[in-house]
Structures are given as structure tokens and as C-alpha cells.
Structure 1
Amino acid sequence: MYTYSPTAILITGASSGLGKALALEYGRVGVVLWLTGRNEARLLKTVRAAEQQGATVFWKILDISDQEQVRDWIDEIEEQTPLDLVISNAGITGSHSIGDEIETANTAHAQVSTNLGGTINLVTAIAPYMQKRRSGRIALISSLAGMQPISDGPAYGASKAGIIAYGEAMRDHLHEWDVFVSVICPGYIRTPMADQFKSWRPFEYSAEQAANAIRKSVARKKAFFPFPWPLVLGIRIGKFLPWKLRRLANQRFNYER
């Protein structure tokens, strides 16, 4: 039986979807949450819901891709209370246009800047504090798309694959200071962002189910947690197939087809 009860938790991308579900999964009496997102009205709904569960909640609207904003926010928090757990969840997605136009450079860079860049900004801001006190956990939300990208979401897959690589390397490095980094790769989750996927979404979790699974994996100190297992198994088997066969299978998972 694994027990882990962090009392000071930061979650990015908490205004809706998985981030909101994570805030409500962890939010309870005795827990202090620091939440951020880009949409103030939606974020405040999360704040109020977590407060109703008994949590103490602080919130801030910021751009996770802005290194200075993130660093200043972490410095401000750490002056008040050392963070036990930091969950890097904020992310955006994008795809090619309908027709023959490929995903634009601006669309691609925005995803890399937010998804991977935001993760790097957060980890590099909090890690030195955790190293000093030789404790702390960091959970990075990647995606199964980081293990097997879909053809009409190349930058999204690249940004999530980058999170996997970055998290694996940082876990090895920070282990010396007893700071643990988890890399988590969810499959389909029923969220507003996922609604952009119009094609097949097998083994889809609700946001609440995914948040519960993630909380358990963090408590068990799972270094790498991809789920659900049928999709993970399919991806791993697919790596042994010729790319043409893999391509045919992957077309079922595109945004629009």
C-alpha cells in the first residue's frame, strides 16, 4: 500500500479538463493548491469548486511559455510555502488544415512553446528549491501521442515526445537530491481540447477517471505511466511493424478522418 499525501500542490492548466479534475482530485481540507490557467472565468470555477471541498486555493493567470512570469510566480510561492508536488499539465493542440495545407509554423511553434517550453520553464523554476531541501515530486503530463504521434498533429506529438525525453533525463539527474520526476502519458480523455478529435477515440477516460489514475501513479512513484494499457500495448507492438502497416493503423486516430 502506497501512501502519499502532499499538502502544497501546484497545477498548471487548471481552468478546465484534466487540470480541473486534478485540482478536485487533490483538493481537500488541509491542502493548499496553487492553480494557473489562461481563462480567468473558467479558472475561478475550478477555484470555487476546490474551495468547496475544503482546500485553500491561490490562483494566477499567466502565460506558462513566459519564462520570467513562471520563475517569478514560483519564487513568490516558495517564499510562503515549500511545494510538495508540482504537476505540469498546461497544453494546447493543433493540426493541419482541412485539405492540403500543412500545419503552419506558427501553429507548430505555439504548441512546442506551451507544451514543452512551459514544462521546461516550470521545472527549471521549481527544481532548485526542491534540490535545496532534498525533497519534492514533479509530475509531467505528456501523452500517448508522444510515444506514437498522429500524422495530422505533428507538432503536438513532437512537443509531447520532448516532454518524455526531458522528464526521463531530469528524473535521472534530480535523483541525487531525492527529487522524483514522473512522466505520465494519457490516452484519450474526455475534455474540451479532446473534442477537436473527430475520429475514433477508443478506451476514452473521463477527466475524473484520468485524474484518479494519475494521482495513484504519483503516489506509487511510477517513473513512467502510460495509459490505458490496451492502447499502450498497441503502440508498443506497432513499433515492430513496417511503417506502411503502422501508417494504415494510425490513420484511424487522426483529428478529422
Structure 2
Amino acid sequence: YEKDRHFMTLNNNSKLIMENNAMLTVTPKQLDPWLKFGLTINNSELYIKDSKIAFPGWITITNSNVTIINSTITKVEEIPTVLERDDNDDCPLLYFENSNVTIINSRIEHYYECTLPEQVFVSSPSNFTFLPGVNKTFQFIPSDIEIKTDRLSAVILEITYEANESYDGKNFVQYLSKDGLYYNTSIQPQNKTDTKIFDLFSEGINNIKDLEKLCVRFENDGNVNVTFDSVRVVFSYENDITLVNSKLYAIDTYMDIDFRR
């Protein structure tokens, strides 16, 4: 992913302290300029006072305590023309899970505003004809897209199939769960041509890594052929300030969205 190119990670009771005009930022003055940066904090502590964080990318915090006082989380001020993209002129995306966050007299500026269009992973193979008794597993090929974040807000499996009027099969399409087992979806081919969808997000498929491991399979237990004309996953990114089982205390604090498109 993009976020793996430049990053900082704190684990296992580590502590990052920024005080007295400290700054964590990125520079475009590189041979191969790259602005995205990922700060990941797990089972640790982040303390920021009278300081600034300025970069586009991600701050992902789990099982940690965060204190931000008299400080700013914002964008990089000067971006060269070659790097002028909407997602490069914003502050990092914020994700907190099982964490306590206190923000006092601070600013979160230029938060990423774009509602990204739905993206698609197409299966490999993209279509297949099942003879009676034949089964097939479909995997999904990441499309050539820029990953803004690996967190997702929606994941839908969409299959278009066709079978003639004499088809009498009863099997459902199945998906590979995180526990390594296959489970039925609600998609059960019928004796017609149709497009059906199934919500994978509600079944725990909720990030890019889950999608890359996703497999879908079907076995034709009917008496005639079944053809899958299209097998794909449609998904959307999560770009909100996200809190999962966390507490956020914001006191005398300003937050805004970058509305420039």
C-alpha cells in the first residue's frame, strides 16, 4: 500500500512525546518525492504539547492514550506542482480504537473532504461456466487504484449469472471468512438470468487486506450448466474521523474540513 512507503510505528508501551514547537512532517525535497506518511501507535502513548503534525496520510491508534494540548494537526504548506493532488493537501486521516483521546485548545485543520467513488475488484477468472458437478473458486485482483486508506465503509459482492429454465440446483455462493472457513452468502443461482448482491462488510470483510485474501466459490449441484458472467466486489473507503470503542474529549478545540476540490 501507499501507507507502507514512509511510516513510524510505536508498539508495546512505547511513548512519543512532542513538546516545545516540535514538528512531525514530510518534505517534497526528495529525489523521488512522496508525501504520504503513516503514524501507527499500538499499546503505547502519544503526548503532544505546543507542537505540530503536518502531513497527508494516516494516524492509526489502538489500545493507547493520546493527549494533545495547544497543538495543530494540519497539512503540508507548500506542495510542488508535480504532487498537487486533492489528497496531498490535507491533514492525516484519524482512526482510534480502544483508546482514550484528549484534545485541549488545539486545531485539526484541512481534514480530507472527498467522498471517494466506489472502487471495484474484479475476480480472476472474471467469468466461468459451471458444468453439473463442477466447482470453482474465484479470487480478486486489486485494481490499479491509489489506496487512500485501507479501512473501508462498504463491501458488496455482486454476481451476474445465467441458467436455463430446467436448472434445479440448490447450492449458494460461498465466501471465505476471516476464520478460514467458507460460509453461504444469500446468492443462490436460479433458473434465469439475474444479478444478485451480498453485503460482505457486515460479515467482517472491512479492510483492503481482507479483500486481498477474499475468495468466493460455487459448486453446481444442478442438472444443467450455470454461467457466471461477472463476479466482482464493489467497495468504498472510510475517510471519517473514526472512533471504535474509544473516548474523545475535545475542549476549546477547532476542527475543519478542506473543501477545496
TM-score strictly above 0.5: no
Q: Larger Cα Rg: Structure 1 or Structure 2?
A: 2
TM-score, normalising length: structure 2: 0.28
Q: Which structure shows the higher strand fraction?
A: 2
Q: Which structure shows the higher helix fraction?
A: 1
**Bigger relative contact order, structure 1 or 2, given CA contacts below 8 A and separation 6+?**
2
